[in-house]
Structure 1
Amino acid sequence: MATNTATIGLEKKTAKELADKLNNLLAAYQIFYQNTRGFHWNIKGDKFFTLHVKFEELYTDALTKIDEIAERILTLGYTPVHSFSQYVQLSAIKEITNDSNAETTVKHVLEGFKTLIQLEREVSSVSDELGDDGTNDLITTYIREQEKQVWMYNAFLH
């Protein structure tokens, strides 16, 4: 039950829709986190030293965002999903296993960013409609950061 929603001045029905979208984003981030962690562990080849460090940066950043998204859901008065089965079920990002190739792992990262940005734009649209500046500020910062990351990882591939 959304006990905090009215306290922070948001309409409960739309806040529930926003919390659901944030939970989908949270699940996607959890899978993105695990994928990049796996890439970090398993990367091989002449790009090892470059990508090993970059993948660690990605999963460390994702872990921070996971916590912020979960806390935002709680601030809205709802419960963040918190089991791996829920993450796998809800995530628009699919698990990647046994990939140690520089080019394909970077392509997976770019595909993950594409999905995250799409989900974040959906969240931003609902939070904007709701007048939820707190969520909107959080999410638009993520989008700006990730758009720059997309440019950088694309440059790596070319």
Structure 2
Amino acid sequence: MKLNSLGFPVEQTNELIKELNGLLSNFQVYYQNLRGLHWNIRGKRFFDLHLKFEELYNDSQLKIDLIAERVLTLGGTPLHTFSDYVANSKLRVGKDISNDVEAIELILESLSILLQIERSILNKASEINDEGTNSMMSDFISEQEKTNWMLKAWMEEDI
């Protein structure tokens, strides 16, 4: 079995890089959705949601950078074009959403998909003892589970 300079099996690392690039693509769509929600939200909850969406897109921007840097650390090339992002994303693009409930529903739907992808990456990284990727995914998962809980509370829904 051929190992890379980090001591990980090359073939499995390349699969992990592909999944991380998929996560990167999904996060880019999530980020852009959040920007659109931030700009277009209307109604009595405008001030609270406008700030919340800004908080979420700033957090996403940091995560995007971390994912891209992890791809580079593992020896890959991060995707970096809009066409790549759209082609590799599973998230629905939220266009012209100004209603508060629709906005939160889009975020919850997106978080659910992101969490599924992150758990898959966590499992694959565990198989090759990639603690760097595991740590990053664990952090993302715990933060997004909390965000999911808070948004569900806002919607007055059960987890």
Give TM class, smaller chain.
over 0.9
Matched letter for residue 113 of structure 2: T
- Give the Cα separation in 2 of the matches to 1:130 and 1:57: 34
Give identity over the alignment, percent: 45
Q: Give structure 1 stretches of 5+ with no counterpart.
A: none
Gaps of 5+ in 2: none
CA contact (8 A) 1:88 1:94 kept: no
1:7-156 mapped onto 2 (5 Å cutoff)? 7-156=5-154
CA positional deviation for 1:94: 2.0
C-alpha displacement of 1:27 = 0.2
Q: Distance in 2 between matches of 1:114 and 1:51?
A: 20
Q: After superposition, give the CA deviation of every residue in 1:43-72 in whole Å (9 maximum; x if it has no partner).
A: 000010110000000000000000000000
Confirm or deny: 8 A CA contact 1:27 1:86 kept in the other structure.
Answer: yes
What TM-score do you get using the length of structure 2 for normalisation? 0.95
Residues 10, 130 of structure 1: 8 Å contact kept: yes
What is the CA distance between 1:8 and its match in structure 2? 1.1
Cα displacement (A) at 1:7: 1.3
3-state DSSP of counterpart to 1:52 = helix
What secondary structure sits across from 1:6 in the alignment? Answer: coil
Aligned letter for 1:33? Answer: Y
Tell me the alpha carbon deviations over residues 13-61 of structure 1, each in whole angstroms, 9 at most, x when there is no partner: 0000000000000000000000001000000000101100000000000
Q: Is the 8 A contact 1:99 1:105 kept in 2?
A: yes
Cα distance, 1:6 vs. partner? 1.4
Normalised TM-score (structure 1): 0.96
Could you tell me how far apart the structure 2 residues matched to 1:78 and 1:121 are?
20
